[in-house]
């Protein structure tokens, strides 16, 4: 009497290798799409935060400019630079006659430090640079921008002597964070030029 052997269906080694290869390709494609969409979402969110910071800074300066008069723009090279000899041209500190001051400093821990050169704020490895405000000569400086926005540079230029008007040039990028890709920081650099006066706000 013959014994009939039943063969259980199974995958061959070649079929398993082909299946794993196809699965790997699909997973790599899905992961790439996920990473790309996540990076785009982060980039959009960082851009929104930067635009919000820029708006807050310009609105604060504009409001104080309407309440007071434009005094001068000077180089931020001493503690009492607003009391120094007036300077012409483009400089890093804005002074109003109400003793309100605006400038850019970098943060090291809990301390604020004057920027000695423009390279200190352009180097990603250095501490964050913020727009700093002081409400009076006896008051402390405090930041107008948050820790997510890094100001590489800011400069002020008086463009009209008769009507208080100042042109502000800003270079802004996302702050260097551990979870933020370097290419998002490098590609997120934005150049802003804004002209403020007692009655006018225009942005280019």
Cα–Cα distances (Å) from 204 to 122, 124, 160, 201, in that order, read: 23, 26, 18, 10
- Is residue 38 very low, low, confident or very high in pLDDT (cuts 50, 70, 90)? confident
- Compute the distance between CA of residue 181 and CA of residue 189 in angstroms, rounded to an integer: 14
Q: What is the pLDDT of residues 95-142, one digit of tens each?
A: 888 888 898 888 776 677 776 666 778 777 666 888 889 888 888 888
Predicted structure pTM score: 0.74
């Amino acid at each position: 009497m013959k014994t009939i052997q039943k063969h259980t269906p199974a995958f061959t080694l070649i079929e398993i290798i082909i299946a794993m290869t196809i699965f790997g390709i699909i997973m790599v494609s899905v992961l790439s799409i996920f990473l790309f969409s996540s990076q785009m979402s982060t980039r959009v969110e960082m851009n929104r935060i930067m635009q919000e910071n820029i708006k807050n800074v310009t609105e604060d300066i504009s409001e104080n400019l309407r309440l007071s008069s434009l005094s001068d723009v000077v180089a931020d090279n001493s503690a009492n630079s607003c009391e120094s000899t007036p300077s012409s041209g483009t400089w890093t500190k804005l002074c109003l006659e109400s003793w309100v001051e605006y400038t850019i400093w970098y943060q090291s821990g809990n301390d604020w430090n004057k920027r000695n050169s423009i390279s200190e704020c352009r180097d990603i490895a250095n501490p964050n640079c913020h727009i700093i405000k002081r409400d009076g000569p006896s008051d402390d400086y405090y930041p107008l921008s948050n820790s997510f926005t890094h100001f590489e540079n800011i400069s002020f230029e008086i463009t009209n002597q008769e009507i208080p008007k100042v042109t502000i040039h800003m270079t802004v990028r996302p702050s260097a964070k551990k979870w933020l890709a370097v290419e998002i920081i490098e590609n997120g650099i934005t150049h802003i030029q804004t002209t403020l006066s007692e009655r006018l706000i225009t942005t280019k």
